Structure 1
Amino acid sequence: MRAVIQRVTQASCTVDGVCTGAIQQGLLVLLGVEEDDTEKEQEWLAQKLVNLRIFSDEAGLMNKSVQDIGGNILLISQFTLIAQTKKGNRPSFIRAARPNKAEPLYQVMGERLSTLLGKQVQMGIFGADMKIDLRNDGPVTIILDTKE
């Protein structure tokens, strides 16, 4: 699994003009699922997301997690994160999980994050044409890959 995490002051997801999820301070998480990903990678990534210390403490140092600050998470599925671009100019998505595998892992990730965070995680709609609005805070953007 690969995730792009952005620390945000606000973020939202809209599908066909309808807001499917919106948050204030917290994390926007773009999640890509590979064909060989399992719940083991999902569990590690979920723990990492809620405990990653990228929010400022009283001294201005990144010492607090989204859980510590009572922040929120907006989780968006994004298979394009799994793109291979080494050869040619057209990205290959051959390693991306097929929808019948990726969607359940995406849904369970939302449930797992909600449990760990102690509040409902906001989500996009798997496979939809989503419009994401955000205000990156910092900017702080981090890439996590369960393979590394």
Structure 2
Amino acid sequence: MLALLQRVACARVVIDGETVGEIGAGLLALVCAERGDGKAEADKLLAKMLKLRIFADEAGRMNRSLQDVGGGLLVVSQFTLAADTAGGNRPSFTNAAAPDDGRALYEHFVAQAQAAHATVASGRFGAMMQVELVNDGPVTIPLRIAPAGAG
């Protein structure tokens, strides 16, 4: 699974003019399931995300995790993270999980996040969304958890 994390001062997701997910300070996580991913990869990605030390400590160093600071987590499905741009100017998305598999893994990821962390909001899988954020830092971190047995 893939994720692009952005440390934010605030973020929200809007669908058809309605805010469906919103957080204050914390992480905006754009999440993508790839072919071959399963619940194990989703769980590993979430564990890494919650413990990644990218928030400032008392000395101003990135030494605290999302859980340490009690920040919000906004999870947004983003199949375009699986884009392959090697073969021309039109990206290929064949590495992304099939829609039904992607939806199931996204829903699993959000449910596990809600069980593990106090403040979790989300977008809606497959919807046309507008994502608004104030990037803090800016700090943007890519994460990838390869499927078991993948090179």
State the Cα RMSD in Å.
1.0
Contact 1:27 1:74 in 2 (8 A): yes
SS where residue 136 of structure 2 aligns? strand
Amino acid at match of 1:129: M
- How do residues 59-70 of structure 1 correspond to structure 2 at under 5 angstroms? 59-70=59-70
Q: Which runs of 5+ in 1 are unaligned?
A: none
Rounded Cα–Cα distance in structure 1 between residues aligned with 2:119 and 2:125: 17
Q: Does 1:133 align with 2:132?
A: yes
Counterpart for residue 124 of structure 1: 123
SS where residue 5 of structure 1 aligns? strand
SS where residue 67 of structure 1 aligns? helix
Counterpart for residue 93 of structure 2: 93
Counterpart for residue 57 of structure 2: 57
Give CA deviations for 1:49-101 in whole Å, capped at 9, x if unaligned: 11000000000011101100110100000000000001111000011111110
Rounded Cα–Cα distance in structure 2 between residues aligned with 1:114 and 1:71: 13
Give CA deviations for 1:4-35 in whole Å, capped at 9, x if unaligned: 00000000000000101000000000001111
Q: Does 1:144 align with 2:149?
A: no
Rounded Cα–Cα distance in structure 1 between residues aligned with 2:21 and 2:98: 24
Residue 120 of structure 1, CA deviation: 4.3
SS where residue 67 of structure 2 aligns? coil
Rounded Cα–Cα distance in structure 2 between residues aligned with 1:120 and 1:56: 19
- How do residues 15-54 of structure 1 correspond to structure 2 at under 5 angstroms? 15-54=15-54
Contact 1:7 1:139 in 2 (8 A): yes
Counterpart for residue 78 of structure 1: 78
Aligned pair count reads: 147
Amino acid at match of 2:50: V
Amino acid at match of 2:32: G
Contact 1:75 1:124 in 2 (8 A): yes
Contact 1:77 1:106 in 2 (8 A): yes
Contact 2:56 2:63 in 1 (8 A): yes
